[in-house]
């Protein structure tokens, strides 16, 4: 199965368990691998026959802007479910990082895979 990649996507959202975190927006960084068959799009040079990474990136930004989760695990799980449903993605791997959340670490986060390849 081929994959569409979106790497280093930065979004802002309300995320965190501490009271002070509930009053600010924080940056999350995402990497995605989205499984699809690229041959039909390539054969016809047709955007409508592939996963539109611009549209997906925009939708992720909208999702983040309207979200207010405590855990990055919840953000990742809900985002994966939304992407699979709205864009018909059979399988995805999502890496989600929260920079600066832990002293002496560049970022903390989770990596999940959902669906079947």
**Which tens digits make up the pLDDT trace of 37-69?**
999 999 999 999 999 999 999 999 999 999 999
pTM value > 0.85: yes
Rounded to 10 degrees, what is the CA torsion of 18, 114, 87, 15?
A: 0
Single out the residue of 84, 83, 109 nearest to residue 95, CA to CA. Answer: 109
Using alpha carbons only, what angle is made at residue 51 by residues 86 and 70, rounded to the nearest 5 degrees?
A: 50
Instruction: Give the tens place of pLDDT for each residue, 75-114.
Output: 999 999 999 999 999 999 999 999 999 999 999 999 999 9
- What CATH architecture does domain 2-115 belong to? 2-Layer Sandwich (3.30)
Domain ranges of the chain: 2-115
Q: Report the catalytic residues.
A: 98
Supply the angle between the helices 72-87 and 53-66 in degrees, to the nearest 10: 140
């Amino acid at each position: 199965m081929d994959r569409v990649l979106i790497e280093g996507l930065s979004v802002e959202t309300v995320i965190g368990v501490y009271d002070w975190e509930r009053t600010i927006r924080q940056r999350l960084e995402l990497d995605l691998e989205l499984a699809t068959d690229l041959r039909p799009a390539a054969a016809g040079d047709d955007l409508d026959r592939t996963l539109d990474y611009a549209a997906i990136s925009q939708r992720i930004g909208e999702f983040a802007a309207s979200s207010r989760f405590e855990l990055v695990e919840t953000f990742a799980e809900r985002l994966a479910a939304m992407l699979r449903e709205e864009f018909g993605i059979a399988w995805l791997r999502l890496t989600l990082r929260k920079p600066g959340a832990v002293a002496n670490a560049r970022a903390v986060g989770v990596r999940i895979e959902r669906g079947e390849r």
